[in-house]
Amino acid sequence: MEESRIKATRVWSIFICAVALWRGPQPYTSKHKVRKTKLFSPLWLLTFLFLPAIAAPQQSSVENRINALIARMTLEEKLGQLQQLDGEANGNYRPEHIELVRRGLLGSTLNVRGARKTNELQRIAVEESRLKIPLIFAFDVIHGYRTIFPVPLAEASSWDPSLVERAASVAASEASAAGVKWTFAPMVDIARDPRWGRIVEGAGEDPYLGAVMARARVRGFQGRDYSASDKVLACAKHWVGYGAAEGGRDYNTTDISEIRLREVYFPPFKAAVDAGVGTFMSAFNDLNGVPASANPFTLTKVLRDEWKFDGFVVSDYESVKETINHGLAADESEAARLALNAGLDMEMISRFYGKHVPALIGNGKVSTATIDNAVRRILRIKFRLGLFDKPYADEEREKAVILSRANIEAARLVAARSIVLLKNEAKVLPLSKEVRSIAVIGALANDQAEMLGSWSGDGRKEDAVTLLEGIRSKVSRTTRVTYARGCSVSGVTATGADEKASIDEAVRAVRESDAAIVAVGESADMTGEAASRSSLDLPGRQLELVQALVATGKPLVIVLINGRPLTINWIVDNASAILETWFAGVQAGNAIADVLFGDVAPGGKLPITFPRTVGQIPIYYGHKNTGRPPDPANKYTSKYLDAPVTPLFPFGYGLSYTSFKLTNLRLSASTIRPDGHLAVTAEIENVGERVADEVVQLYIRDMVASVTRPVKELKGFERITLKPGEKRRVEFTLASEQLGFYDRNMRFIVEPGEFKVFLGTNSAEGLEATFRVLEK
């Protein structure tokens, strides 16, 4: 039965049952004059017949169809469904794919994109292959398909899940129009080591913020029903612990206790499951001695048995093969066996399943049921995606939606709302649009490609607005804008030339201008995959450039363009204003100019701690107290000899063009039962002169517990826009979900005792209150 027919049956069933219920139980009088109820009236019977059709028609008919298909599939065809292969860099499929698809030996591709190209290959699958099973086209749509939005770390800085959902939904609309029905996003890895280049792809260090963002992004990509023509299937990755790579070195080993996995690394994945995510990607890392792509604990026990996830898991790029390098599998065949038996359904790139499973089944090392289950999960998702009904992309829609005006506007809004103001001495910002002259300095101020950041989908540099362009189109016609490059980002120049002369030129430009805006940071390829750094300093001669410009005595506005926290202590001490803009996407220049000139007041907050020095890493706000918390008066406490223990900027930090006052923190009770709940309220007031946003953040601390708890844990937040003089009440609820933790037996419990509540506008300061959880 086709999906549309199933829906029609369902509608009819509801109608018939409604009529039956209405007309069914007619009392009547028998010839013996006894009033009876017509229990077996024909209409009642109809109700009983059609009820199951209402209850689970789709589910059962899809499951039946899957079973029927599996019954007809050869082992080769089943293994074909478990295989994903790469297209060419330009989005084409490879010549070998044609024959593989025709023979039913390929279930999915990655990187093949564009309505025409995907339709061509799809036509072979659904018209020429024996069982006509559609392909699923995947692509890394990480922060936009063609309309590139800010990098995910930036989006998390907005602390605005509805905005993040909107960004993902624009990405889904463009990707699906281009035939891509599956994105390898969101990346929900918690990361507490900014040396790791992939920190840019996630939501930062905190499990709560990470979970909120994971949910928002899954909703944005998938909507309520990912079979809709403008939605895509999402993929929570990288399952799991990948962000804890030792030393921040990509692909490196991880060793994470089960408590920490459950408390820190799992929550965003669980949030993705709760939001209905259809797929997971297993990670590259060795996790506690068992690589994540062959790890039965994470892939089966937690994901399937505990969380009841019924979608499928794809490996990461050759991560099945890499179990050999890890030293877990002796050879290809063992790699296939370990991954499959652990619960890994689809193999990306390496082809060990197809090659070795027939023999593994022959010798009983892999069961047919294991293969059938993997195939079943993949087919289930293909059905849910509606691919059997609507396998093709709409080339007309592709033309209409890609890079549409509405999408570009959304990108600008998200970018502006992701910007974080880190410093604003003497209210240098916002600048006046009427300023007579501005010097715009820095290689990053005039480079379209860099604005897109890493993993920029099908983004093109020509779509991007640079900072220089953004400023030029913002200021008055009489304002003179002078650009000077100053120096390269990396310090490596094409000619190998010393950059002294161009630094001098920048100094001259600043001297001769009334305002100076300096863009410094990282190039896009210094962030993302395989882009770990051992230093968080500004690369190349950029610090030297800023120092030379500061020496002019002119107030400098620093625009940071980067994908990770940087150790910018000198700049923090000496520049007048600092905006953290990350890689802000196609509308970067316009969005940054919106903030620089006050059309948008900055309201973003850091989703990650900025260290003062790389030696402080890992540094995150939700740490434990230790037995010897730092005490300046006592040498034998937990600190450094040569650096403070405090960060450069704490998690949740960000300033505004106005000032806010947070008052009247109140708890609805001073004691609650372990299963009770508590309201936390306060008032936030804009006491400045501009409309602006503040993010009120709620943290708790469980003071004493059978497993020690962090000194602070984020449990709620709200981004609020307030006019000057406006005051608003904020309210949060604390219940067992927020107050509980995993005990030594991995049970989630709430323990009696004292809790502290902190309400603030960053993780380091705020109002405090206390309550107690009573014994049961």
Q: Write the secondary structure of 388-427 as one string of H (helix), E (strand) and C (coil).
A: CCCCCCCHHHHHHHCCCHHHHHHHHHHHHHHCEEEEEHHH
Provide the angle, in degrees to the nearest 10, between the axes of the packed helices 588-596 and 467-474: 50
φ and ψ of 515, to 5 deg: -135, 155
φ and ψ of 520, to 5 deg: -135, 160
Closest CB 415 distance from ligand BGC, rounded Å: 23
Closest CB 316 distance from ligand BGC, rounded Å: 5
Closest CB 86 distance from ligand BGC, rounded Å: 8
Q: Which is nearest to 485 in space by CA: 520, 527, 525, 448?
A: 520
Token readout for 151 is 């990098």
Closest CB 235 distance from ligand BGC, rounded Å: 8
Q: Which is nearest to 734 in space by CA: 695, 700, 684, 697?
A: 700
Instruction: Pick between residue 316 and residue 345 the one whose CB is nearest to ligand BGC.
Output: 316
Contacts of residue 404, Cβ cutoff 8 Å, sequence gap at least 6: 147
Query: How far is 211 from 203, CA to CA, in rounded Å?
Result: 9
Instruction: Pick between residue 453 and residue 611 the one whose CB is nearest to ligand BGC.
Output: 453
Half-sphere exposure of 496 (CA within 13 A, CB side): 0
Closest CB 312 distance from ligand BGC, rounded Å: 15
Pairing of the two strands 753-762 and 748-749 = unpaired
Strand (E) positions, 633-726?
660-667, 671-672, 678-686, 692-702, 713-722
Instruction: Pick between residue 219 and residue 237 the one whose CB is nearest to ligand BGC.
Output: 237
In sequence order, which ranges of 569-658 are alpha helices (DSSP H)? 569-574, 588-596
Q: Which residues bind ligand BGC (CB under 6 A)?
A: 110, 140, 184, 237, 316-317, 529
3-state helix, strand, coil in the chain (%, to 5): 40, 20, 45
Cα-to-chain-centroid distance, residue 338: 29
Closest CB 317 distance from ligand BGC, rounded Å: 4
Contacts of residue 168, Cβ cutoff 8 Å, sequence gap at least 6: 185, 186, 216, 217, 218, 219, 220, 221
Token readout for 553 is 């005595």
Instruction: Pick between residue 147 and residue 285 the one whose CB is nearest to ligand BGC.
Output: 285
Q: Is the peptide bond before 32 cis (omega within 30 degrees of 0)?
A: no
Query: How far is 645 from 747, CA to CA, in rounded Å?
Result: 33
Closest CB 184 distance from ligand BGC, rounded Å: 3
* Residue whose token pair is 């398909």: 145
Instruction: Pick between residue 583 and residue 758 the one whose CB is nearest to ligand BGC.
Output: 583
Closest CB 110 distance from ligand BGC, rounded Å: 6
- Cβ atoms of residues 136 and 110 within 8 Å: no
> How many other C-beta atoms are found inside a 10 Å radius of the C-beta of residue 95?
8
DSSP state of 194: T
Instruction: Pick between residue 117 and residue 238 the one whose CB is nearest to ligand BGC.
Output: 238
Catalytic annotation, pick one of 140, 193, 250, 316: 316
* Single-letter residue type at 75: L
Vertex 348 angle, CA 211 and 134, to 5°: 95
Half-sphere exposure of 256 (CA within 13 A, CB side): 28
* Single-letter residue type at 5: R
DSSP state of 610: B
Task: Indicate the residue whose CB is closest to ligand BGC.
Answer: 184
Instruction: Pick between residue 87 and residue 470 the one whose CB is nearest to ligand BGC.
Output: 87
Closest CB 237 distance from ligand BGC, rounded Å: 6
Closest CB 541 distance from ligand BGC, rounded Å: 32
Instruction: Pick between residue 423 and residue 533 the one whose CB is nearest to ligand BGC.
Output: 533
Instruction: Pick between residue 190 and residue 595 the one whose CB is nearest to ligand BGC.
Output: 190
Instruction: Pick between residue 198 and residue 719 the one whose CB is nearest to ligand BGC.
Output: 198
Say whether 14 sits in a helix, a strand or coil: helix
Instruction: Pick between residue 86 and residue 394 the one whose CB is nearest to ligand BGC.
Output: 86
Closest CB 348 distance from ligand BGC, rounded Å: 7
Query: How far is 719 from 603, CA to CA, in rounded Å?
Result: 8
- Cβ atoms of residues 682 and 696 within 8 Å: yes
Query: Catalytic annotation on 316?
Result: yes
Q: Which residues are catalytic?
A: 316
